[in-house]
Structure 1
Amino acid sequence: MPEVLIVGAGPVGTFLASELARLHVDVTLWDRRPEPGGGTRAIGLHAPVLAALEAGGATERILQDAVRVRRGEARSDGRLLGVVRFDRLNRRHPYVATLPQPQTEAALAVHAPAVRRGVDVTGIRRGPDMVRVQGREADAFLAESASLVVLAGGAGARPLVYRAGAVPTTAYPDRYLMSDATLPPRADAELAVVHLDEPGVLESFPLPGGRRRFVAWDSDGGDADPTDDAARLARLQTALRRRGEHAGAEAVTAATAFRVRRVVAPQLRRGRVFAIGDTAHEVSPIGGQGMNLGLLDAAGLAPLLMRWLREGAAPEPELARWERDRVRSARWAARLAAANTRLGRPVDATTHAVRAQVMRAALAVGGPLFAHAYAMGFDAAN
């Protein structure tokens, strides 16, 4: 029987498993996917996360390949609105490190046990001294007991710990297009750029190897055929050309679409069962804090679980403080993401002109505050 069983081998579950193994905890890691996920939606790691990953060596491994984004620019109609200077923050890591998610997961997994894949968890039974986890592997029934169980399997794991309707959920009408592409050398190759124009937001972030991540508000929204790959690509190319990103429009070869929602669970613990990462809270990737939230959940939880197991009793005051801080941090990130979502929607010409003036003035006066907020400066982990 393992001491800790983790459900979900994405970046958050992998990091928690790695940290616990590094602390000499017997940990088992399950995932429903038969193969590692190939998605690269999460690319940015913020200053408090980079600091939290240092002890296990993951920060050093990540920074070997990552781009260190020290500045961001907001532009409108091709003109500069203002600059956000991460390099002026009083932080150990005054930048955002960008790296495709598979590479981040590989850096996090160095100490983690091998993942048992293809396991679909169907139920959890909590007891006073252990937790019984039930599921299916291929066509066979599977059951395992553990002293503690952590759910880090995203939204799919949420029903295992929360009753239907117990977690407030807001589905936004917005839809976005996303693509990564290799571009010719450019002067702003290590600069993050946000275009705020009438048709909606377009974000452009650097990645290693001369690649960039583009995310654009989808002009066709819910009327689009989700299976029409060519139409998605054409809409993204149009969005890029309208912002002057002609090289990007030529370089992209495919586009994916995604929607956003807001989920913040009021509790992360029920006895010996914990929920972290997207299982407990989802925020819009516009702003790039979702994966970071989950990694900070895990960083704070790992030493408390180790202490519980070694001392034979739950460190209740510390666990309560951890839960309170992580819920507060998730609420703050969700509010910021909601503001970013509203700010990036299409507007008419008059509203667009006013928005540009307001943003120019706000960035001129409050540039350091913007950098502090977007670098997770208000997270309780700081």
Structure 2
Amino acid sequence: LDIRDIARDIPLAVLRVLDLARALAVEPDVLLLDEMTAALPANLAEKVLEVVRRQGDSGRSVIFISHRFVEISALCDRATVLRDGETVGVVDIEPGVEERIVEMMLGARIEKTRVAARQASQAASPRDSRPRLGVANLRVGTKLNDVSFDLANGEVAGVVALEGQGQDELFAALAGSIQPSGGTIEVDGKPVKFAHPADAIRAGIAYVPGDRTDALTMQRSVRENIALPFSAALRNWGPINMRQEGSRVVSAIERLQIDTRAQREVQRLSGGNQQKVTIARWIAAEAQTILCFDPTRGIDVGTKQEIYKLLRELADQGKSVLFYTSELEEVQRVCDRVIVIFGGRVVDVFPVELADEPALMRAAYGLPRGAKEDVGILADIHSSPVAKP
């Protein structure tokens, strides 16, 4: 990091670490961290957790707000659970507490997406043999080097990488935000070049960022945000077919169960409902391929489950999804296979059955399959049922 860099040009993950450094500089007696790791990939999250652990060891108090249960188990002595602005329970951290916390948060037991269910749906609807999206020897500057993979219709392919390994550039190139310096992109077997995101959208490729403010017009309504692709193209300027637009918007809202009580402005919605609006926009626009870059970042566990289910439904309908996540546990709940990137290159591709968190973490650090040692804080977490300061 160059200290002369302007904040707006620094990646969000690095900004969050800088926020923590600024807070620690005043040596607080009580450190309050609200979703501190939500925007961080695994390697930066490990460093943050180590720093927070040292704060507790030094006698300072830490209030740690997170939706990541592995982090709560690793750091906390007890957890207070809130729902609808009220305390619904206080629990000591012990083995098996995750399910109790989830039930308290939702008021009911939830069903997790399982690999077996996904395999059953695939058996019922085999994929098209021709890839929907093909990437060959793709390069972007110095960050992305010689990346190749295919994405099939009816598939959710995961992408796992530590911070700064080229995943941002990969998604930006596929979404038309930046132009690659080498390699090819094919859509339905035909080479394409995207000079602008509009070119990717016309090819049926839509981008869902982790930061909702990058995708939504916060001062506009739910309806206007979802309907934006219908009127944004120059060829569509003129009278708007309000009946057709309304039908598509209402259908998308109902499908994603978006809370529209705050109809006037999207900024009044919760983070989870804002992300639903972003996805609903491209469902209404009938995008064939959706690029999801950490779409569940910083949202509640119930909405995460809804998004997992939705992505699987889209795949079952023949859509293709490329899914980057900084939460490794999501991979086996959503994906069919996992592409691991390290140093700007694809270093491994896992079938989802083998893509547990230790295996993915090792691959993300560039270690070969079969390595015996866990990495970083995972070594502490997996060495005992519960690891606390």
TM class, shorter-chain normalised? under 0.3
Question: Normalization by structure 2: what TM-score?
Answer: 0.25
Question: Normalization by structure 1: what TM-score?
Answer: 0.26
Q: Which has the higher strand share?
A: 1
